[in-house]
Structure formats: structure tokens, C-alpha cells
Amino acid sequence: MKTGFLRGRSASVALAIVIAVAILAAFGRWLAPQDPIAQNPYAMLQGPSAAHWLGTDAFGRDVLSRLLAGASSSVLASVFSVVIGLVFGVVPGMVSVFLDRRIEWLSLRFIDALMTLPFLVFAIAMTAMLGNGLIQAMFAVGILITPAFYRVSRAATLSVVNSDYIEAARLMGASTTSLIRRHVVRKVLPPVAVAIASMMGACLSIVASLTFLGIGVMPPNPTWGGVLATDLTTLYERPLGPLAPGLLIVATVWALNALADALRDADACPQKVRK
């Protein structure tokens, strides 16, 4: 699983895209050729040119610069959501297996209740209560993806909790913390890695949806969803305007999902991958 999954062509392409997007998220603002929020009334709705490779929007802002600068907020918001899901999902999921049956039942019912909440509606409600900020919106999204990490870590823990070596460790007086640290974590990490890649793609789509609606990051601050929304308002003047931000979002989400598939396949068939 460590290196074999990269032998697939789709996995290699996906990893290259993810690395490129990570570089944009880290250095996009410095790579932007122009000020992403500077308006130019004399350069509105221009097509691609040497000065503006992807053209300009209705306010004369360089589209390429806005996409590069918006990568950081779009990607980092997704990372923030996934971290919240990890914190509130993985450890409770592992610990739940060792809890009293009644507490375990209550925790499962709470997770089931979270799974029924719609992502966008809950995020909009949270921003309405706490303020229109990306942190508030992504905290709501992170809470809602917690059940995915909870169930993945719980299932991986259940697969080993009745093993002979776990029973032997219990008989020798090993604590729950020791069992989780020494025996459970290494079994949980591979499926959690798959869930991280998959949830990153889902969170990126949600971030784009929220910013498309003007939630989280207010204009003129650039985001991928915000750039797409601006280009859609001038679709008749620039029919190909939404193509660049749309392709960027789709390519990134596909790469994360393809990477998750490659990780899952490598974990399921390690001996085949080594060949």
C-alpha cells in the first residue's frame, strides 16, 4: 500500500493533480500575475489574451489571478473540515467499541441523527447563527462529516477487537488506552486514510457550493465557487467563462476520489499491488 498504488495511471495522475492543487493552495497568492481584487473598468469581460490568460470578469478583474488566489481559502477550508471530522469521529469511533453497551447505543443513535442533517441547510443555519464566515460554515461541515470517520474507525476496530492477541492483552491487564494505541490504531489508519481523501473531495464540493451562494467568504475575496458564480452572471457575454473554475473544481474532486479508490484497492489487495 505504501508505494504500489501509484503504479496505476489514474492514481499517478490523481496524485499529480492533488500535489499541484496543494502548491496552489500554499503559494497561489504569490503566483497570481495581478491583484485578484483590483477592478479595471476599462478591461471588463475581456477574452483570453497575453495580459489576461483566462480573460476578465464583469469588474475587470483577472480571472486567472482570482483562481490562483482563491485556491488557499477553498482548499484550506476543506482541510479544516476534515480535521474537525477526524478529531470528533476517529477517536470516539475507536473508543465506542470498548464502552458500556448503553453508552455505545446512545453514541450510535447520535451519529445516526447527524447523518440525517442536510449539509448545505445545516451550514447555512450555522452561519446565520454564528455569522457569515468560512470558519463557521466549515465547522458545521466538519461536524456533519464526523459520522463517516466514526463509522470507518469503529468498523476497523470491531474487526480486531475480538482477536486472540487482544484477548490475551486484556487478560494480562492492558488498559483500553493501551489496546487502542498498540493494536487498534495501526488497523484503523488505512481505512481512515481512504476516508480522508474521499471526504476532502466532498468538502471541496461543499465549499464551492457555499461560496457560490455567497456563504463563508464574502466578495470581493476570491474563491473557486465565487469565481464560478461571477462568471455565470455574465454567461451571455462570456460563454466559456465558467469553464476554467468549473474544470478546476471537477478535476480536484475527481483526483481526490481517484486517490481514495487507489488507496482502498491497495489496502484490499496488498499482495497484488506488490507484484
Show the cell assigned to 185. Answer: 490504531
Model pLDDT for residues 146-174, shown as the tens digit of each residue: 999 999 999 888 888 777 777 777 777 77
Model pLDDT for residues 17-57, shown as the tens digit of each residue: 999 999 999 998 899 999 999 898 888 988 888 888 999 99
pTM: 0.85
- Provide the residue ranges of all domains of the chain, joining segments of one domain with +: 4-26+56-274
For the domain bounded by 4-26+56-274, which CATH number is listed? Answer: 1.10.3720.10
Model pLDDT for residues 188-218, shown as the tens digit of each residue: 888 898 999 999 999 899 888 888 888 877 7
Q: Is 99 exposed, middle or buried (0-12, 13-18, 19+ CB in 10 A)?
A: middle
> What is the DSSP code string of 116-183?
TS-HHHHHHHHHHHH-S-HHHHHHHHHHHHHHHHHHHHHHHHHHHHTSHHHHHHHHTT--HHHHIIII
- Reduced to 3 states (helix: H, G, I; strand: E, B; else coil), residue 62 is strand
Residue 62 dihedral angles phi and psi, to the nearest 5°: -70, 120
Show the cell assigned to 43. Answer: 478591461
